[in-house]
Structure 1
Amino acid sequence: MTDALDKDLNDILEAAAAWHTRLDLGTADQKAFERWRDADPRHASAFARMVGTDATFGLAEGHIDSEADDFEGPVRVVDRRRWLAGALVGVAAVIVGGGSFVALANRRVHAETTVGGRANVALPDGGHIDLNTDSRIAWRYDNASREIWLERGEVSLNLPAGDRPWRLHAQGRVIMGLAGKLNARLKGQAVEVTVIEGPGIVILAEHIGGTGKLALAAGQSVLAGKDGGTVRALSDETMQTVTAWQSDEMVFTGQPLSMVVDEFNRYLSRKIVIKDPSIAGVRLGGRFNVHNASGFLRGLNESFGIRATDDGQVINLTR
């Protein structure tokens, strides 16, 4: 009898592990999972154990929290396992009341990076979001839609096709599509959107009465503000300048030093300041590592005689 019970428990644990893996990879049938989970209280308990075990290994590196829509507390994410740490709360509730796992999908989950940081987040549908330096993203998935909010910084989204549309909300605009890969970056009161791969997207005003409807295909970009924007096709060279950050690089093709410094400062806690206005227009080209500011400053001195002086608060550039 004991052997039979042990075998039954082992079978349940194996099934829980399989569901855990499928959900983590975004390949699970949500309704099928719910049927299995609700069929026996031991199923929910075993699944909670699996999530708890996986989450434990990620807790030392940081955390990600599931939050109600009206809560905006700071959360930082380093890797995908933190989603599991947040999911543990929802799964534990399943043991008590059943059906609470779906409620997890109806809450916003936040992830953010610090200055100089990067993160990759796996979404429930198998999609991925890469967060650039000093960025913050939120998402909420339910049975009707996939909603994502860009709250700060820059992200690359790789979103699979599905039976629900996805919508990215940013600076009063809604970017909508079925699948594809795009880059989105907040710039002042506008959002710069670039379609890298896929069938294309549509950008609308967030609120009724807003102006400007834009359609983008792969290889096109737009800086969308409250009055719309102009869609432009990007050359392969220009596309590299948009996506280089995903390899921890910046690519410049003759931009002025003032713009290059602005880009570097996105990754630096101690900022670079151009103290001599006469050097702001110096044109630069090349590929730079975002984590090698010292090499960049050394190159300025060797090529243009521009000196960098650290006063303890900022790095001043003069000639």
Structure 2
Amino acid sequence: MSAPCPAPKVVKQAIHWMLKLRESGYSPILKQQCDEWRKVDHDHELAWQRVLSLHQELDLQAVPGASIALQTLETSQQRLHRRQALKLLGSVALLGSAAWLGKDLDAVATWTSDYASATGGRRSFHLPDGSLLQLNTASAVDLAFDARQRLIRLKRGEMMLTCEESQANGRPLLVQTRDGLLEGFEARFGVRQDGDCTRVSVSRGKVAIHRPGKGRLHWINEGQAYRLDATGMRSLEQADMDASAWVEGLIVTRDMRLGDFLREVGRYRHGLLGCSDEIADLRLSGVFRLEDTDKLLQLLPQTLPVKVTYRTRWWVSLERSA
């Protein structure tokens, strides 16, 4: 159940057409030639729509240096590989916003994902077996459902899965992450893949963790949360944030460090968000809505001795107020 993906050379051609049109001021003659190219083959149209989506995602008209970033991607031999793209974009960091675009090149990865969400977005899907899959910001999964199993591969980000035993038909429901294989049993559970670990929290039912070479299963029951990484797994006893609140569009904190809170909010917005070291250890508790992160940030000076500074639209920092 893989999403169709045009050949890299066709994607390169689509990017080339996009750049030519932009440079010409969208010349009617060039537009007609581009339209004719799109009609030649279905892959041409598919590649064009995906490049157009990336164009809109990056807001090229408003972001200085974005077209140069796309040109860099066009000439890259690894232009559809995120890590390589980030390295290339790093070489044009002096253009300002081009380096920031690296964060949002996850949009490219959605082209080959069965289900995905954009930065700041949340999406819900009913899977072929009737299970409910919910994706948090900038997340992507692939499905491999067959006669033997129902496998969900979490490629990046965070998901919530609600499954019923009646949907199984003898096939286990598995979630594969970088750090382990999870099996849900009439459960509602969240899985988050960070850069250095996988976090699992169970709201209902139970989940089994399969660890390669570890032999026996480890069970996570309702109300429990665990962290998995290359060194092993450990229970998360006192969480400073509600692991499932994002499903309702909220961040719910309990005595959370300001630095950690801003890192979390940063997942839901484009650009850079941070604070000075002298206020990073300030603590906050509360319920915050994610629908508008700029409004969310404006609430912080009401409870903490901080001020919010917009250096640019995409570069926001917090400092101690006078």
With normalisation by structure 1, the TM-score equals 0.61
Aligned to 2:310: 310
Residue of 173, 190, 199 corresponding to 2:197: 190
Aligned to 2:270: 269
One-letter amino acid matched to 1:202: A
Aligned to 2:180: 173
What is the CA-CA distance between 1:298 and the residue it aligns to? 2.1
1:201 and 2:201 matched: no
Aligned to 2:231: 227
Q: Radius of gyration: which is bigger?
A: 1
Percent sequence identity over matched residues? Answer: 23
Aligned to 1:129: 133
With normalisation by structure 2, the TM-score equals 0.60
Matched residue of 2:286: which SS? strand
Q: How does 1:122-161 map to 2 (within 5 A)?
A: 122-161=126-165
Aligned to 1:259: 260
One-letter amino acid matched to 2:201: T
> How many residue pairs end up in the alignment?
213
Matched residue of 1:203: which SS? strand
1:112 and 2:116 matched: yes
One-letter amino acid matched to 2:164: P
Aligned equivalents of 1:233, 1:282: Cα separation in 2: 21
Matched residue of 1:294: which SS? helix
Matched residue of 2:244: which SS? helix
Matched residue of 1:273: which SS? strand
Aligned equivalents of 1:141, 1:239: Cα separation in 2: 36
Aligned to 2:69: none
CA distance 1:116–1:226, change in 2 (3 Å): same
What is the CA-CA distance between 1:250 and the residue it aligns to? 0.2
Aligned to 2:292: 292
The answer to whether the Cα contact below 8 Å between 2:113 and 2:140 also exists between their aligned partners in 1 is no
Q: What do you get for the CA RMSD once the two structures are aligned?
A: 2.6
Aligned equivalents of 2:274, 2:216: Cα separation in 1: 37
Q: Could you report, residue by residue, the CA deviation over 1:170-213 in whole angstroms, capped at 9, with x for unpaired residues?
A: 01311113321100001223211111111x121122x4x36884
Q: Unaligned regions of 5+ residues in structure 1, if any?
A: 1-58, 63-70, 77-107
Matched residue of 2:124: which SS? strand
Q: How does 1:70-89 map to 2 (within 5 A)?
A: 74-75=109-110
CA distance 1:196–1:311, change in 2 (3 Å): same
Q: Could you report, residue by residue, the CA deviation over 1:243-273 in whole angstroms, capped at 9, with x for unpaired residues?
A: 1100100001111100110110000103322
CA distance 1:270–1:250, change in 2 (3 Å): same
Q: Could you report, residue by residue, the CA deviation over 1:108-164 in whole angstroms, capped at 9, with x for unpaired residues?
A: 961111110111111111101000000011111111111111110000001121121
Q: Unaligned regions of 5+ residues in structure 2, if any?
A: 1-48, 54-79, 82-107
Aligned to 1:278: 278
